Structures are given as structure tokens and as C-alpha cells.
């Protein structure tokens, strides 16, 4: 739920009893797309802000943390990422980071709501600067349907950069969808999904690990990073692969500039607090249902 008076935009979350506010200078745009309410504000300290259905999505000031951690951890853990699939990602910040990797030959982004991308092109042009890269393919459809129709072993990395597991994104957080991702990934492929807050959403985090393992992934690991505008300011992503060998260790280091990600952060981000490791411990013994 969002509240805003003339000066503040507040995302208030009834379930967690948490609210976060940014001081506004003005509202720049608002429209109801076929999927969600898209609002753009100018803020006093965080630059431009995009909200979807009243929930913080992206700001000029802190989006680099999320977009770098959602892309470089998986791509630098993979030996040779050439084809990358992004589900969601409509603001295009993740796509921009993926295309910084010289090994990437094809980056396919499947975003259900074209209006998110068109509005982002207008208000977040830097995030969209790679949209016309010849390696980029922007599709506007349901990622669930796209994955079900995708060819076996046809990509190296899948990045699920979706909204919270409600509405159209709900079907991106279950065993059925992870099975399709596993089929579409090459045998050394890596899946990474934004997996909400370790502090506020631990049961969901556990269910993601359990569902990924039931879907046949043999290695699942969560990393974490700060993300000021999301509930609790502490966010996570969960990686999965067929083979334990990678354990998602960093394979190589950036030949391009980053502002948050580096090899030390890569390694350190997988170090989890005790309350999280204790919750996730028995996921490792999740029986994998037969094919
Ligand atoms: N960084 C944000 C976060 O962590 O909440 C997500 C960024 S991006 C704006 C999220 C996108 O996922 C939205 O544009 C939304 O339209 C898209 N999305 C939700 N469900 C989808 C689905 N089933 N297929 C494709 N895109 C979907």
C-alpha cells in the first residue's frame, strides 16, 4: 500500500508492519497499464523513483547495487555465459549489466508489461542505454509461458528479476516453473532469482530452495546485499545449478567498471547469518522427485 502526501512517498506493508518513505519533489508520470499502476516521482535525495502498484521498484540512487548483484554474481560464476535470459527486468537495468559481459552473445528479456519498459526508456534512459545493443532481444509476454515453450538446454544463465510473488509474478516462484528453467538451462547453467528479504521473508526463501531442489537442481545458495528501498533494506538472490562444482565461486573478474560488485563482494555475499543457514540447512536433503 502506498501513501503519499505532497512531500513523501511511503510504501507501507501491512503484513510486516514496516514502512519506508522518500521525500518527493514532484510526481512526473502515472498510468494504469494492463498489469499494474506505473508511477514515476522525482525525489529529493534518490533521483527518480519508479513504483509499481505503489511498491518501490527502482531509483536512480541505489539501483546499481541490485542490478550488479542480480547479474554479475551468476555471470562471473559461469565458465562462459553466452546466452542469458531475463524474466521480468522491465526497467532494463539488469539487461544493461548483462550486456557489459563480452562473452554474452544473446540476451533475451521477457517482460510481461511493455509499458514498464517504455516508461523506463523515458525516465531512466541510462538503465535503458543497452536496449538497442544488437545482442539484446526484448520480448513482451508472460515469462511463464515463454519458458514453457523454450527449447531444451538453450541458455546458460536465467535471471528472474520479477516483482514480488503476487499477481503475474506468483507463478515464477514454484517447482513447476523451476522444472522448466532446469530443462531450458544447459547442464552447466545457472539460475538466479530475486528472493526477497532474509529478515522478513525467510519462509518464502526456504520454500524457494525446497522447490528448486524438488525441480532437480542439486545446488542452491542464497546471497544477500543491501537494498535501501525494498522492505527492511536487506535483500537476497538465490542461485541454483545442476552441478555442485561451481558452488558459484567467482570465475573471473570484471573487465568493466562496477560500483558495488567485485570479487570480494561476490564471495562475501554468500556468507549467511546463522538464523538463515539454520533455516535452510534441511533444504539440502530435499528429495528430488523423479524426472
Ligand atoms: N527490482 C524489482 C524487484 O526486485 O522487485 C523488479 C524489477 S522489474 C520492474 C519487475 C518486473 O517483473 C515488472 O516490470 C513486472 O511487470 C515483471 N513481471 C512480473 N511477472 C512477470 C511474468 N510472469 N513474466 C514477465 N515479467 C513479469
Residue pLDDT, tens place only, 59-112? 999 999 999 999 999 999 998 999 999 999 999 999 999 999 999 999 999 999
State the CB neighbour count (10 A cutoff) for residue 142: 16
Cα gap 17→13, rounded to integer Å? 6
**Greater model confidence, 288 or 186:** 186
Q: Which residues contact 10 (CB under 8 A, 6 or more apart)?
A: 2, 3, 4, 19, 20, 21
Ligand 1 atom with the shortest distance to the CA of 55: 5
Q: With pLDDT > 70 as the criterion, what percentage of the chain qualifies?
A: 94
Q: Does ligand 1 have an atom closer than 6 angstroms to the CB of 91?
A: yes
Contact of 216 with 177, CB cutoff 8 Å = no
Q: Which residues contact 134 (CB under 8 A, 6 or more apart)?
A: none
Contact of 279 with 198, CB cutoff 8 Å = no
pLDDT at 245: 47
Cα gap 277→54, rounded to integer Å? 32
Is 161 designated active site? Answer: yes
Q: Which of 91, 161, 244, 257 is catalytic?
A: 161
pLDDT higher than 60, residue 246: no
Q: Does ligand 1 have an atom closer than 6 angstroms to the CB of 194?
A: yes
pLDDT at 14: 87
Q: Return the HEC string of the chain.
A: CEEECCCEEEEEECCCCEEEEEEEEEEEEEEECCCCEEEEEEECCCCEEEEECCEEEEECCCHHHHHHHHHHHHHHHCCCCCEEEEEECCCCHHHHHHCCCCCCCEEEEECCCHHHHHHHHHHCCCCCCCCCCCCEEEECCCHHHHHHHCCCCCEEEEEEECCCCCHHHHHHCCHHHHHHHHHHEEEEEEEEEECCCCCCCHHHHHHHHHHHHHCCCCEEEEEEEECCCCHHHEEEEEEEECCHHHCCCCCCCCCCCCCCCCHHHHHHCCCCCHHHHHHHHHHHHCCCCCC
Q: 291: pLDDT confidence band, cut at 50, 70 and 90?
A: very low
**Which domains are assigned to the chain?**
2-59 (2.30.140.10), 63-280 (3.40.50.150)
The mean pLDDT of the chain is 93
Span 174-196, average pLDDT: 97
Among candidate residues 88, 111, 108, the one with its CA nearest the CA of residue 98 = 108
Contact of 235 with 222, CB cutoff 8 Å = no
Residue closest via CA to ligand 1's atom 1 equals 57
Q: 254: pLDDT confidence band, cut at 50, 70 and 90?
A: confident
pLDDT higher than 70, residue 286: no
Site to substitute for ligand 1 among 90, 177, 233, most atoms within 8 A of C-beta: 90
Q: Does ligand 1 have an atom closer than 6 angstroms to the CB of 11?
A: no
pLDDT higher than 70, residue 155: yes
Q: Does ligand 1 have an atom closer than 6 angstroms to the CB of 172?
A: yes
Contact of 262 with 254, CB cutoff 8 Å = yes
Cα gap 34→54, rounded to integer Å? 15
Q: 41: pLDDT confidence band, cut at 50, 70 and 90?
A: very high
Among candidate residues 277, 288, 85, 48, the one with its CA nearest the CA of residue 184 = 85
Amino acid at each position: 500500500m502506498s501513501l503519499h502526501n505532497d512531500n513523501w512517498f511511503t510504501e507501507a506493508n501491512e503484513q510486516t508492519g514496516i514502512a519506508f518513505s522518500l521525500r518527493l519533489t514532484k510526481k512526473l508520470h502515472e498510468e494504469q497499464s494492463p498489469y499494474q499502476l506505473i508511477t514515476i516521482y522525482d525525489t529529493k535525495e534518490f533521483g527518480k523513483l519508479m513504483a509499481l502498484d505503489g511498491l518501490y521498484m527502482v531509483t536512480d540512487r541505489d539501483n546499481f547495487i541490485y542490478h550488479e548483484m542480480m547479474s554479475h554474481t551468476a555471470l562471473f560464476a559461469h565458465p562462459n555465459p553466452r546466452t542469458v535470459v531475463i524474466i521480468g527486468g522491465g526497467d532494463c537495468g539488469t539487461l544493461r549489466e548483462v550486456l557489459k559481459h563480452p562473452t554474452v552473445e544473446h540476451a533475451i528479456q521477457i517482460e510481461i508489461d511493455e509499458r514498464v519498459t517504455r516508461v523506463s526508456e523515458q525516465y531512466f534512459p541510462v538503465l535503458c542505454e543497452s536496449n538497442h545493443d544488437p545482442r539484446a532481444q526484448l520480448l513482451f509476454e508472460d515469462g511463464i509461458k515463454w519458458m514453457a515453450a523454450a527449447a531444451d538446454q538453450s541458455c546458460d544463465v536465467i535471471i528472474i528479476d520479477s516483482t514480488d510473488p503476487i499477481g503475474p509474478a506468483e507463478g515464477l516462484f514454484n517447482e513447476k516453473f523451476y522444472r522448466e528453467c532446469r530443462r531450458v538451462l544447459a547442464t552447466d547453467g545457472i539460475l538466479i532469482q530475486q528472493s526477497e528479504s532474509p529478515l522478513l521473508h525467510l519462509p518464502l526463501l526456504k520454500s524457494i530452495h525446497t522447490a528448486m531442489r524438488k525441480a532437480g537442481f542439486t545446488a542452491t545458495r542464497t546471497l544477500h546485499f543491501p537494498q535501501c528501498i525494498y522492505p527492511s533494506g536487506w535483500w537476497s538472490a538465490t542461485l541454483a545449478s545442476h552441478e555442485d562444482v561451481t558452488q558459484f565461486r567467482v570465475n573471473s573478474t570484471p573487465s568493466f567498471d562496477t560500483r558495488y560488485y567485485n570479487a570480494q563482494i561476490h564471495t562475501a555475499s554468500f556468507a549467511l547469518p546463522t538464523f538463515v543457514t539454520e533455516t535452510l540447512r534441511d533444504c539440502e536433503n530435499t528429495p528430488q522427485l523423479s524426472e
